[in-house]
């Protein structure tokens, strides 16, 4: 029997995406509730860079996210102390001098793929060598004949606050072959996981359930997907779907999150699609928006499960399941001190799930459902 | 899990096969001797030479498959 447990209040070490960088460039500070605290994100007026500070002012606790950007500093709404992006107090207009060592926490940031990231480490160390967010270099964002010629649609971006669940539930999904059939109405025909270092990958091919009446964009297509988490919370998923006429739809999905408290997190997802031959940039944007709506349906299916399930640290697995324990072992590296990361957490591990037996069972189930209802409907 | 040595690069790994389609490979050190995986990390699904070595172990009966059907 598994009884609900207290979820650990420690947050993962790693890069966490806070959203598209352009959400934060309007000259105003932005408040983000994350890692059990509040952050203030702002862009320096002169340096043009995005900075992230602890939101609560070290003076008397004013909320800097409700303050004002003044030059390259963020001014507190309470007494106008000016905080630089480096965390140093740059000025206190009404005082003769700034106290020695007047500092707040400046979070290490990174901009990549049009997104803003902060580095979180409970031990306060900088990211180790090679611990970074890969650039999507297969997307040429600066084609020589101008941005309108871009082969890819711009990012869609959506976020949803998930309450009552630890973000491990979301990460568990990448080894959970069977839930794709029951929760997402797709039939995995190939399902492999590879973990190594700080990366956890999922290689999938799937077809849609024939007995499902779900009308999602792309849900009626087979797909091939290469997805990987880079660190604890940022996944890049490349998806290819044959369109029947010899062409292939190509999508990139970012699925990322940051923890708010020990049992809530903000899930975000963004989509870009490659423009199909003979279509306009506008049509590609529409296609990306429809794909994002389909993603929302899929995430809502997961959220509905998470909202009502319990946390299980020692799941009881069958031989048809993916490598949940090995994934958890990989994931644990982000929740222990760097000195406690054991080799087995980062050593390469490969697991190819046997989809054959499951496929036969699901084939029978779909055939029975179709025989019963005559037409595809809700299974 | 049973030890298997890659006939290409000589690296030893641990392998389990619960059924013919299933394979689980646990590395116990770096992949840097493998010409296909070195530097690629988890973004490379697997090494075809190692896979061939595993299949050979199965064919020659040195690696047993739990549910052989
Ligand atoms: S609390 Fe921020 S300036 Fe006083
Ligand atoms: Fe899911």
Six-digit token string for A348: 């390469």
**Taking a C-beta distance cutoff of 8 angstroms, is the pair A347, B28 a contact?**
yes
Task: Give per-residue pLDDT as tens, A36-69.
Answer: 999 999 999 999 999 999 999 999 999 999 999 9
Cβ of residue A132 closer than 8 Å to a chain B Cβ: no
Looking at A67, A102, A120, the residue that finishes a domain is A120
Q: Which domain holds residue A174?
A: 152-373
Task: Give per-residue pLDDT as tens, A203-212.
Answer: 999 999 988 8
Asked, for residue B45, whether it belongs to a domain, the answer is yes
Asked whether residue A100 falls in the same domain as residue A196, the answer is: no
How many CB atoms within 10 Å of residue A153? 23
Asked whether residue A102 falls in the same domain as residue A156, the answer is: no
Asked, for residue A127, whether it belongs to a domain, the answer is no
Task: Give per-residue pLDDT as tens, A156-212.
Answer: 999 999 999 999 999 999 999 999 999 999 999 999 999 999 999 999 999 999 888
Contact A349 CB / ligand 1 (< 6 Å): no
Atom 3 (ligand 1) nearest CA: A79
Looking at A102, A120, A138, the residue that finishes a domain is A120
Asked whether residue A247 falls in the same domain as residue A295, the answer is: yes
Asked, for residue A280, whether it belongs to a domain, the answer is yes
C-alpha angle A334-A5-A169 in degrees, rounded to nearest 5: 50
Cβ of residue A355 closer than 8 Å to a chain B Cβ: yes
Rounded Cα–Cα distance for residues A315 and A236 (Å): 27
**Collapsing DSSP states into helix, strand and coil, what is residue B59?**
helix
Report the candidate in A52, A20, A48, A59 with the shortest Cα–Cα distance to residue A37: A52
Asked, for residue B68, whether it belongs to a domain, the answer is no
Per the structure, the count of domains in chain A is 2
Asked whether residue A54 falls in the same domain as residue A173, the answer is: no
Task: Give per-residue pLDDT as tens, A340-354.
Answer: 999 999 999 999 999
Asked whether residue A189 falls in the same domain as residue A290, the answer is: yes
Asked whether residue A223 falls in the same domain as residue A341, the answer is: yes
Measured from the Cα of A60, ligand 1's closest atom is 1
For strands A109-112 and A106-107, give the pairing.
unpaired
Asked whether residue A174 falls in the same domain as residue A234, the answer is: yes
**Taking a C-beta distance cutoff of 8 angstroms, is the pair A184, A301 a contact?**
yes
pLDDT of residue A6: 55
Asked whether residue A175 falls in the same domain as residue A324, the answer is: yes
Asked, for residue A147, whether it belongs to a domain, the answer is no
**Taking a C-beta distance cutoff of 8 angstroms, is the pair B14, B57 a contact?**
no
Asked whether residue A107 falls in the same domain as residue A48, the answer is: yes
Asked, for residue B43, whether it belongs to a domain, the answer is yes
A136-143, long-range: CB within 8 Å, 24+ apart, which pairs? A136/A236, A136/A252, A139/A252, A139/A272, A141/A114
C-alpha angle A172-A176-A181 in degrees, rounded to nearest 5: 135
Looking at A104, A120, A136, the residue that finishes a domain is A120
pLDDT of residue A221: 82
- Choosing from A59, A63, A83, A95 the residue with most ligand 1 atoms within 8 A of its CB, the one to mutate for a pocket test is A59
Count A/B contacts: CB-CB distance under 8 Å.
Answer: 67
- Residue A276: is its pLDDT beyond 80? yes
Asked whether residue A164 falls in the same domain as residue A43, the answer is: no
Six-digit token string for A313: 């640290």
Asked, for residue B18, whether it belongs to a domain, the answer is yes
For strands A106-107 and A223-230, give the pairing.
unpaired
Rounded Cα–Cα distance for residues A258 and A12 (Å): 9
Contact A218 CB / ligand 1 (< 6 Å): no
Q: Which domain holds residue B52?
A: 2-59
Asked, for residue B64, whether it belongs to a domain, the answer is no
The residues facing A266 across adjacent strands are A161, A258
Asked, for residue B69, whether it belongs to a domain, the answer is no
Per the structure, the count of domains in chain B is 1
This complex has an ipTM of 0.97
DSSP state of B4: E
pLDDT of residue A189: 96
Chain B residues with CB-CB distance to A228 below 8 A: 42-43
Q: Which of A201, A348, A359, A360 is the best residue to mutate to test the B interface, defined by the most B CB atoms within 10 Å of its own CB?
A: A348
Asked whether residue A326 falls in the same domain as residue A183, the answer is: yes
Asked whether residue A269 falls in the same domain as residue A167, the answer is: yes
Q: Nearest-CA residue of chain A relative to B31?
A: A348
Task: Give per-residue pLDDT as tens, B13-36.
Answer: 999 999 999 999 999 999 999 999
> Residue A57 maps to which CATH number?
2.102.10.10
Q: What is the pTM of this model?
A: 0.94
């Amino acid at each position: 029997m598994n009884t609900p447990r207290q979820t650990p209040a420690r947050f993962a070490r790693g890069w966490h995406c806070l959203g598209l960088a352009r959400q934060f460039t309007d000259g105003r500070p932005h408040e983000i509730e994350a890692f059990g605290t509040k952050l203030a994100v702002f862009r320096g007026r002169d340096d043009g860079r995005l900075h992230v500070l602890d939101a609560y002012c070290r003076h008397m606790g004013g909320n800097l996210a409700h303050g004002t950007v003044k030059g390259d500093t963020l001014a507190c709404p309470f007494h106008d102390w000016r905080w630089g992006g480096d965390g140093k107090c740059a000025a206190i207009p009404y005082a003769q001098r700034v106290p020695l060592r007047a500092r707040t926490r400046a979070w290490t940031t990174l901009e990549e793929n049009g997104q803003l990231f902060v580095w979180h480490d409970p031990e306060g160390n900088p990211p180790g060598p090679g611990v970074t967010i890969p650039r999507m270099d297969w997307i040429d964002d600066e084609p020589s004949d101008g941005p309108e010629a871009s082969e890819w649609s711009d990012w869609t971006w959506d976020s949803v606050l998930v309450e009552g669940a630890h973000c491990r539930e979301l990460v568990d999904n990448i080894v959970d072959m069977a839930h794709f059939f029951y929760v997402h109405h797709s039939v995995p025909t190939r399902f492999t996981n590879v973990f190594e270092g700080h990366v956890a990958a999922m290689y999938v091919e799937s077809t849609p359930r024939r007995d499902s009446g779900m009308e999602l964009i792309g849900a009626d297509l087979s797909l091939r997907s290469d997805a990987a988490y880079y660190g604890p919370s940022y996944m890049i998923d490349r998806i290819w779907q044959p369109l029947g006429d010899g062409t292939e739809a190509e999508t990139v999905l970012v699925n990322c999150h940051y923890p708010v408290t020990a049992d809530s997190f903000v899930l975000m997802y963004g989509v870009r699609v490659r423009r199909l031959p003979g279509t306009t940039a506008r049509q590609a944007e529409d296609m990306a928006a429809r794909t994002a709506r389909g993603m929302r349906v899929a995430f809502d299916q997961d959220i509905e499960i998470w909202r009502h399930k319990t946390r299980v640290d020692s799941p009881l697995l069958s031989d048809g399941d993916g490598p949940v324990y090995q994934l958890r072992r990989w994931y644990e590296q982000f929740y222990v001190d760097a000195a406690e990361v054991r080799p087995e957490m980062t050593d390469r591990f490969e697991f190819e799930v046997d989809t054959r037996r499951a496929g036969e069972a699901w084939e029978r189930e779909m055939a029975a459902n179709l025989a019963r209802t005559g037409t595809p409907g809700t299974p | 899990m049973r030890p298997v040595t890659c006939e290409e690069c000589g690296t030893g790994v641990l392998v389990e096969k619960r059924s013919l389609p299933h394979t689980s490979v646990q590395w116990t050190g770096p992949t840097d001797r493998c010409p296909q995986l070195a530097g690629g990390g988890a973004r490379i699904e697997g090494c075809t030479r190692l896979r061939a070595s595993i299949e050979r172990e199965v064919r020659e009966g040195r690696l047993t498959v739990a549910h052989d059907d």
